[in-house]
Amino acid sequence: MDVPDNVRLIEAAPNSLAFAWAEVAGAEQYGTRLETSSGSLVGSVTYTKVPQQKYNGLKPSSQYRFMVRAISSETQSDYSEPLSASTESESSDED
């Protein structure tokens, strides 16, 4: 099974990040993981049937890494290359 590609950040806020990727033919769901910049898993691996995932409850001004893999009833792909993304700062008053 192909590894999901075109993985991208679609939304960044102080406490959340949202990602999207291209659909993979034959995929029944996707397993997503978000890690801190040091490699620690945030929460647990999350499963979704649509090619996007949003994470809430994150720390402002923090760096994360996102990965996704395609899953079918018979097989699963490797995880995508990690995509680095940062949450925004809490203060948007930047003059």
Please provide residue 5's backbone torsions phi and psi, each rounded to the nearest 5 degrees.
-125, -175
10-61 pLDDT, tens digit each: 999 999 999 999 999 999 999 999 999 999 999 899 999 999 999 999 999 9
Euclidean distance between CA atoms 72 and 84, whole angstroms: 26
> Against a cut of 0.95, is the pTM above it?
no
Tokens of 64: 């994360």
